[in-house]
Amino acid sequence: MQLKTYQENTVDELLGKAKKLLKYPGEKKLVFKSPTGSGKTIMMAEFLKQLVDDREIRESLSFIWTAPRQLHIQSRNKLERYFEDSRALKCSFFEDLDDRQIGENEILFFNWESINKKDNVYIRDNEQDFNLTSVLERTKEEGKEIILIIDEAHHHATSEISQRLIKDIGPNLTIEVSATPVIQNPDEIITVHLEDVKAEGMIKKAVILNDQFENLLKEGKIKTELSGSSEDLVIDAALKKRAELLKAYKKEKTDISPLVLIQLPDRIGSLEDRMKEKVISILKDKYNISTEKGNNKLAIWLSGEHVNKEDVERSDSVVEVLIFKQAIALGWDCPRAQILVLFRQWHSPIFSIQTVGRIMRMPEPDNGHYAIEILNYGYVYTNLDDIEIKEDMARNYITTFTSKRKANYEPIDLQSCYSKRHREKTRLIPLFIELFLKEAENLKLKRNIDSKSKKLDLKIISDWKSENIDALVGKHVTGDKAITASPEDLQKLFDYFVRRYLSPFYPEDRSVGRVKESIYRFFEQELKMDYGEKGDEIIQIVLSDKNIQHFINVIDRAKQAYQKETAKREAELGVVEKWNVPESMLFGSDDIKEDRKKSIMVPFYSKGKWKTERAFIDFLETPSNSVLWWFKNGDRDAIFFAVPYDNGEQKPFYVDFIIRLKDGRIGLFDSKAGFTQKLAGPKIDGLYKYIQSENRKEKKLFGGIVTNTDPRNYRGRWVYFDKTSKELRNDFNNWVDLVF
């Protein structure tokens, strides 16, 4: 698993704060708040791995991981897979514990609801003296400190019994892991921001409410055109969207089959049954979607009823629709799920991030967002009345309103740029292998090493913490003898050697693997030694007294070459040869609808933040001027317009406004107020260079930074600066009056 940049940063923060809190006496609490789809479990797994490997931690640590319903089983399986190679931690259920205690670097997983019952077998006394209380006593008697991890705490950790149980466990550190935490007055809080998760392409850019239907905001509640409509109409809208998405995935040349989720209300009784039968009937009769053999396009996941559910998570599954209940779906991952259907009888009209959690994930997170924009969004269709958006992350994630480009728009075909996302600065990609082999040749590694030398250099393991390695140092490595360690011990030594000399790159498993692969490739090409047959011998040669420094030198030179190469790549910008105003834009319930006649997007929505922008829009809206239309630009991706500028490296400058005049000229303006114009030097030069360059290609561009000579009341002249930053003056004497 290759961690994303925000995940690496979060793991570092978790490690730092956990180590700090473990130094203090008493029971400390740490809240880890992270959105659905951000990879909470993977971040926790890497954090725990680094925590038990950290040489500053002198105490023995044991862990308890609690989760609601069956989520503890899913979490245990994920972590066990994550630790499969490193064996950093052992993952156990109660029945797996040795000596009726939690071992060092062992995680005990259990289901919180079951343990929370007074008559539970793990709570009550028994002849074997095997219950949670006795397990904890033995663990603490052995001098181990306990870290309690409460996963999805908002589901189960708030009751009186739960609080008493936490007190009985008496952990040195409690870590709450949730998108919506509940622990009061924590000692530390770590937050993963939704925007960072979106930027890495892990989750969709937003979730759209009733796409293609008009939504109105009245007294804080959303009235939708679909309110009160029949279930047939809602299902029809959802399946039409699915067909549109499927077509787009095929254009992207991927086999993703988008899944429609139809969520039944959680209430028990005849209402649920009637709703289920009605939905099944509509799907079968109108759309030929059923559970019948030979069709299998419908799956059902309800309490006591599982039909066609086995392969539903597969990206190319034949299942097109899944009927389910929220209670069943806790912790369930199906990244191809992209459309959610909710009916009037649903339990609440209040939308939270939990509501849309099942359709937030991107189906191919390693590839990030797609070129076809509709694939980067989730979709909710509902006939609910008076919908409210909860004041959590959903406020900025669920989009309520759509603004569309006017039909009479004529293409302007501007060249635009955007930042390419690069991850090579913090980790190694296959390019490193190529550079390593080149530096090995430059430094004559083949000639300098002694392939018969196998005496281990003890310096590289002198501060290693692992018990196995400590034993190896004392017992197996003596004098001039060759190493007689086990293959497992040799691999641990080799891993540690690579990690030690990997800095400044992040020592995650994939980067370690790149260095090891580089070394293996060298032996295969230059010494005709195959890793599969002679892996142990290769490691002994590398780590020997005579050879180790030669390999350190090559690794160091290869890292320098890699940093130089990736610095070039980081500066690269992607280019859109023919950029045009987007066909549609999405807005949330906080955005304000304004009556703007000349906006190319209708209706026009504004966040109403900047007075300068609002005043400039008023100026553009003057009925008698020659402005044909104007566009308020965004500031991200290739969707919006940007020009390149140099601020030590190439970056995109997203100007605030693109303006089309009746004579065909196009204005590019960035509104600045007060002294902020002083800070715009590199951007001024980037925009000036762009306009000059494009006009040589017979474009009709003009513009620059724009401001009002009366920055307080905007009653002065509107002026713009169309020269280089060297000529910038704040008295406006060499600025140009903006007259349309």
Query: How does pLDDT run across 242-268, given as a tens digit for each residue?
Result: 999 999 999 999 999 999 999 887 665
Tell me the whole-structure pTM to 2 decimals. Answer: 0.73
The tokens for 296 are: 């299998």
Which domain, by its residues, includes 357?
A: 201-399
DSSP lists the bridge partners of residue 203 as 361
Same domain as 294, residue 174: no
Compute CA distances 599 → 143, 392, 579, 714, 720, whole Å: 69, 31, 18, 21, 21
Same domain as 603, residue 528: no
Q: Please tell me the predicted confidence (pLDDT) of residue 462.
A: 46
Q: What is the CATH number of the domain that holds 110?
A: 3.40.50.300
Same domain as 579, residue 566: no
**Is there a domain that residue 411 lies in?**
no
**Is there a domain that residue 208 lies in?**
yes
Same domain as 721, residue 708: yes
- What is the chain's Cα-based Rg? 31
**Is there a domain that residue 408 lies in?**
no
Of 570, 605, 623, the last residue of a domain is 570
Higher per-residue confidence, 396 vs 330: 396
212: left (phi over 0), alpha (psi -120 to 50) or beta: left
Same domain as 71, residue 212: no
Query: How does pLDDT run across 105-161, given as a tens digit for each residue?
Result: 999 998 876 665 555 545 555 445 567 888 888 999 999 999 999 887 655 555 565
Compute CA distances 398 → 240, 306, 386, 391, whole Å: 20, 30, 15, 11
Q: What is the CATH number of the domain that holds 222?
A: 3.40.50
The tally of domains found in the chain comes to: 4
DSSP structure class, residue 665:
-
Cβ neighbors of 735 (< 8 A, separation 6 or more) are 719, 720, 721, 729
Same domain as 181, residue 222: no
Query: How does pLDDT run across 681-719, given as a tens digit for each residue?
Result: 889 999 999 999 999 999 999 999 999 998 889 999 999
Residue type, position 528, single letter:
K
Same domain as 515, residue 498: yes
Of 520, 550, 570, the last residue of a domain is 570
Of 336-350, 357-371, 525-539, 611-625, where does mean pLDDT reach its minimum? 336-350
DSSP structure class, residue 357:
G
Residue 566 predicted with pLDDT over 90: no
**Is there a domain that residue 491 lies in?**
yes
Phi, psi of 608 (to 5 degrees): 65, 30
Q: Please tell me the predicted confidence (pLDDT) of residue 90.
A: 93
Same domain as 188, residue 206: no
Region 323-351 average pLDDT: 76
Band of residue 595 on the pLDDT scale cut at 50, 70, 90: very high
**Is there a domain that residue 421 lies in?**
no
Residue 613 predicted with pLDDT over 70: yes
Same domain as 267, residue 205: yes
**Is there a domain that residue 291 lies in?**
yes
| Percentage of the chain modeled with pLDDT above 70 | 84
Q: Please tell me the predicted confidence (pLDDT) of residue 477.
A: 39
The secondary element (H helix, E strand) that includes residue 299 is strand 298-302
Burial of 58 (0-12, 13-18, 19+ CB in 10 A): exposed
**pLDDT averaged over the chain?**
84
What's the CA gap between 652 and 416, in Å, rounded?
9
**Is there a domain that residue 163 lies in?**
yes
Same domain as 637, residue 587: yes
Region 414-439 average pLDDT: 81
| Percentage of the chain modeled with pLDDT above 90 | 44
**Is there a domain that residue 426 lies in?**
no
Higher per-residue confidence, 345 vs 617: 617
Name which of 3, 437, 2, 523 is nearest 494 in CA terms.
523
Sheet holding 401-405, edge to edge: 584-587, 401-405, 601-602
Same domain as 218, residue 192: no
Same domain as 213, residue 176: no
Higher per-residue confidence, 190 vs 168: 190
